[in-house]
Structure 1
Amino acid sequence: MSAATTGEVVFVGAGPGAADLITVRGARVIAEADIVIWASSLVEAELIAGARPDAEIVDSASLPLEGVEPLYRRARDEGLLVARVHTGDPSIYGATAEQRKICDRLGVPHRTIPGVTAFAAAAAAAGAEITVPEVSQSLILTRLEGGRTPMPARETVRGFAAHGATMALYLSAARNKVLQAELLAGGYLSETPCIVGYRVTWPDELMLRCRLDELSATMAEHKLWKHTVVLVGPALAAQGETRSHLYHPGFRHEFRGAEGTPPVPAPDTIHRKPRGSSAAHQEQR
């Protein structure tokens, strides 16, 4: 990017850990960036190995928010491309809103590239589907209240547990006794299945399964207190017991007829209204 431009800051979702789980778009931005900012405490080093040899690499693990502002100012003044690499997906506990606010104040263009988040990686590693027909069609993504980051008064693990849906819990491993107690108090049964993922997709990944009433003991046994995501809910045990309508032979949709009904016309024979079609548009044509 030439100095004649205004520069740009791109928040890149690095994914859960494995270098090959970053998006193609995210990897491309890292490869093109003049400055790459990453947190060595959260992001696998291999993810930034594709940076240019002459790129400036900044480890933000020990930097406060104010420590990255000068780099964003340089993006504006020197016309630089800055890749701000965040673990998982930047929109989930990524602390990017305040950084975008800085960019707006400085007048630096910015955009975000999404990434694979830990709950999805944990479900994949465990071979589990989070939403199961007739069991749970919802996912609640939250964290245990009472930590250093204040939670809204109405957002409690106990309150969310009353829904009985699948729940993904971040940043809660250090207080696993309280976590287990609140999930049980909210209405989950003792035998509700849990999946615990530690450093999912990293070389030292650890995946565990247990009942909810064994959750705290399981996490304590393996000394899990950070880099851990917990999935809980009855859907985690009901894998394949109910069937989606989407692939049911009696389900008719645009590309497939249902049993006992006329076949769906081949796609190339289906009349489709051109994009942007309107009466005025048709008249112009």
Structure 2
Amino acid sequence: MTQYPVQFVGAGPGDPELITVKGKHALETADLVVYAGSLVPDAVLTWAGKDARLENSAEMDLEAIVDIMAQTHFNSGRVVRLHSGDPSLYGAIAEQLRILEQKGVACRIIPGVTAAFAAAAALKVEYTLPEVSQSLILTRMQGRTPVPEKENLASLAAHQTSMAVYLSAGLADKLQEVLAANYGPDAPVAVVCRASHKDEKVLWTTAADLEETMKAAQISRQALVIAGPALEAQKNRDFSASKLYDKTFTHGYRKGHGSK
């Protein structure tokens, strides 16, 4: 009897066309799709086959989620566990994989587009700029779920590099305090709510005005807050061009003008 690996698939940030070709194919051939209904939009589910069984995991606990996937797997069904964004980031997949592997269920992961990259596209910004910022921190503030002390937001913001803060829209007051202290009160900050969805909202503000801006726009969930010197440099159009396309720069595919 053939048994197919359970496939954990990244649905992307919201736009159904931002799922990968591989993820779309997995949905089209699935017998069971267990999806995170609180985050995965119905539009993504249209890629599932007409005979696929769709189960919303929003009201299920870990045991129920794993049991339904394992049962279908052992009955030779094709299972897709559909997560928003990319499964590796705030996807709670490690605990599911651990139990499935204990049950002898083979698993495979298909990556997806995370919201930070959909947000950058909406803002038309690059997180990394030569001599400005070469790192991107993806993180969240401590809420009901704690974070390791060495990864508290203030410690990370002290690096003053590009930062995308997930799952923290309801903590705008505390987030504002940390960003203003580390990037400066006048530093540009962007808020992207429901990135790539049809009702996407993009707001520009400053670190000191973050809470007021989000409150006025009635944003308290499903939003990323973006900060860092790369934002200010691009907003002011004040940054150096990369060496990659510099006509005097020689690399493995091109000899620079004036080079010997």
Q: TM-score, normalised by structure 2?
A: 0.96
Shift of residue 40, structure 1, vs aligned partner: 2.1
For residue 188 of structure 2, the aligned residue among 174, 184, 193 is 193
Aligned to 1:270: none
Aligned residue identity for 1:232? A
Give the RMSD, CA atoms, in angstroms.
1.1
Unaligned runs of at least 5 residues, structure 1: 263-285
Kindly indicate whether the alpha-carbon contact (under 8 Å) linking 1:37 and 1:84 is maintained by their aligned counterparts in 2: yes
Aligned residue identity for 1:237? E
1:57-206 alignment, distance < 5 Å: 57-145=54-142, 147-185=143-181, 187-206=182-201
CA distance in 2, matches of 1:50, 1:172: 30
Aligned residue identity for 1:226? R
Aligned to 1:267: none
CA distance in 2, matches of 1:77, 1:23: 27
Shift of residue 184, structure 1, vs aligned partner: 2.4
Matched pairs, number? 257
CA distance in 1, matches of 2:252, 2:72: 48
CA distance in 1, matches of 2:135, 2:218: 30
After TM superposition, which residue ranges in structure 1, 4 or more long, deviate above 3 angstroms?
none
Aligned residue identity for 2:233? A
Aligned residue identity for 1:36? V
CA distance in 2, matches of 1:61, 1:97: 17
CA distance in 2, matches of 1:245, 1:217: 40
CA distance in 2, matches of 1:58, 1:108: 19
- Please identify, of 235-244 and 118-127, the stretch whose mean Cα deviation from structure 2 is larger: 235-244
Kindly indicate whether the alpha-carbon contact (under 8 Å) linking 1:9 and 1:75 is maintained by their aligned counterparts in 2: no
Kindly indicate whether the alpha-carbon contact (under 8 Å) linking 1:37 and 1:60 is maintained by their aligned counterparts in 2: yes
Identify if the C-alpha distance between structure 1 residues 75 and 7 changes in structure 2 by more than 3 Å, giving closer, same or farther.
Answer: farther
Aligned to 1:259: 257
Q: Deviations over 1:189-227 (max 9, x none)?
A: 111111101011111110111111111111111121111
Q: Tell me, what secondary structure is at the counterpart of 1:148?
A: coil
Structure whose alpha-carbon radius of gyration is higher: 1
CA distance in 2, matches of 1:111, 1:77: 16
Q: Deviations over 1:99-141 (max 9, x none)?
A: 1111101111111111111111001001111111111111111
Shift of residue 252, structure 1, vs aligned partner: 1.1
Kindly indicate whether the alpha-carbon contact (under 8 Å) linking 1:75 and 1:108 is maintained by their aligned counterparts in 2: no
Q: Deviations over 1:138-187 (max 9, x none)?
A: 11111112x111110111111111111011100111010011112223x2
Q: Tell me, what secondary structure is at the counterpart of 2:59?
A: coil
CA distance in 2, matches of 1:200, 1:131: 20
Q: Does 1:215 align with 2:215?
A: no
CA distance in 2, matches of 1:181, 1:67: 40
Kindly indicate whether the alpha-carbon contact (under 8 Å) linking 1:12 and 1:113 is maintained by their aligned counterparts in 2: yes
Aligned residue identity for 1:89? D
Q: Tell me, what secondary structure is at the counterpart of 2:55?
A: strand
Aligned residue identity for 1:17? G
CA distance in 2, matches of 1:117, 1:210: 23
Aligned to 1:231: 226
Q: TM-score, normalised by structure 1?
A: 0.88
Shift of residue 50, structure 1, vs aligned partner: 1.9
Shift of residue 261, structure 1, vs aligned partner: 2.6
Kindly indicate whether the alpha-carbon contact (under 8 Å) linking 2:73 and 2:79 is maintained by their aligned counterparts in 1: no
Q: Does 1:250 align with 2:245?
A: no
CA distance in 2, matches of 1:206, 1:214: 17
CA distance in 1, matches of 2:78, 2:111: 18
Q: Deviations over 1:55-76 (max 9, x none)?
A: 1111111111111122222133
Kindly indicate whether the alpha-carbon contact (under 8 Å) linking 1:76 and 1:107 is maintained by their aligned counterparts in 2: no
